Homo-oligomer: A and B are copies of this chain.
Amino acid sequence: MAKADADSAKPLFDKIALIGIGLIGSSLSLAIRRRGLAGMISGAARSKETQDTSLRLGLVDAIESDPAAAAKGADLVILCSPVGTFGAIAKAIGPALDAGAIVTDVGSVKTAVIDDVAPHLPDGVHFIPGHPIAGSEVSGPEAGFAELFDDRWCILTPDAKTDADALSKLVHFWEQCGARVDVMDAKHHDLVLAVTSHIPHLIAYNIVGTASDLETVTESEVVKYSAGGFRDFTRIAASDPTMWRDVFLNNKDAVLEVLGRFSEDLAALQRAIRWGDGEMLFDLFSRTRDIRRNIIDAGQETPVPDFGRRGPKSPEE
């Protein structure tokens, strides 16, 4: 497949427009260039700094501040900005889109995005929401790299009316970017991601907030002794605040549902500690080991142990 594409004179898309050039937008650009998936890449960024950086790094062939100008004539438009901006962007680009163009996004929530975007797109434009499960705590156009999506999952959430050819082309696009593609219902996506991503971020933000606010333990003590476990939470609690504010505002129902379960389970653990129920604690602590093994087996984590992240068996440095 890769060879056939390389030999082919015609790229998969004539013009791909990236609306928003942060970690995901810049990585997409590099993944697109790696396989020659676009005749040209146009980008839209609000800040002059991001515009300049995008041109300097060769992430785009043309950069615009107006999303509509970037999207004009594109046969693939990818929304890569925080999900809170999608409604206004869709409204702006709608009139500029050609019939047959595919519009997708990389947002972490899907039902709210569909509500915000779909009404603004003209008939004949194929809107297929998407979400690559890849990223890090680092933001901005200089953080991107071509391999970000390799072996990661990308979820697409078409509906019953989605054009089969357009869907097939978008699946192929993501596969060429290195990802494995799953298709599911938007509502189910939002629930799954509430569990695997949104609640973990919320909890991480919360414990870091609680620790900073304690009167009886200083922040300098928290920092010094963070290797005891706290440190693991600070990575995702350093994620982009705007992006995550928008995620929680736009996936309220699923987040509150899973959070209710989390709090209920935590209350049961609290009770077990208060009453000294060692058996209940041991049972939970034993079965949570298995899921990590499964994650490692599935290639979504490395088995390299974390000895303070500096030991000889953890070659990070």
Q: Show the binding face of A for B, using Cβ within 8 Å.
A: 108, 133-138, 143, 145, 147-148, 150-153, 155, 182, 191-193, 195-214, 216-217, 219, 221-239, 241-242, 244-246, 248-249, 252, 255-256, 258-259, 261-263, 265-267, 269-270, 273-274, 276, 278, 281-282, 284-289, 291-295, 298, 300-302, 304-317
Q: Roughly how many angstroms separate A276 CA and B221 CA in the complex, as a whole number?
A: 34
Which interface residue of A147, A209, A228, A286 has the most chain B CB atoms within 10 A? Answer: A228
- Asked if A225 and B193 sit within 8 Å, CB to CB, the answer is yes
Cβ contacts under 8 Å, A230 to chain B: 195-197, 200
Q: How many copies does the complex hold?
A: 2
Q: Roughly how many angstroms separate A313 CA and B241 CA in the complex, as a whole number?
A: 23
Cβ contacts under 8 Å, A231 to chain B: 295, 300-301
- Asked if A195 and B224 sit within 8 Å, CB to CB, the answer is no
Add 19 more A-B contacts to A147-B310, A206-B266, A316-B316 (CB < 8 A).
A145-B307, A147-B312, A153-B225, A153-B227, A196-B211, A200-B232, A204-B288, A208-B288, A208-B291, A209-B287, A212-B287, A224-B298, A224-B300, A232-B232, A238-B289, A241-B289, A245-B285, A255-B273, A259-B273
Question: Which residue of B is nearest A150, CB measured?
Answer: B310
Question: Which residue of B is nearest A241, CB measured?
Answer: B285
Cβ contacts under 8 Å, A197 to chain B: 225, 228-230
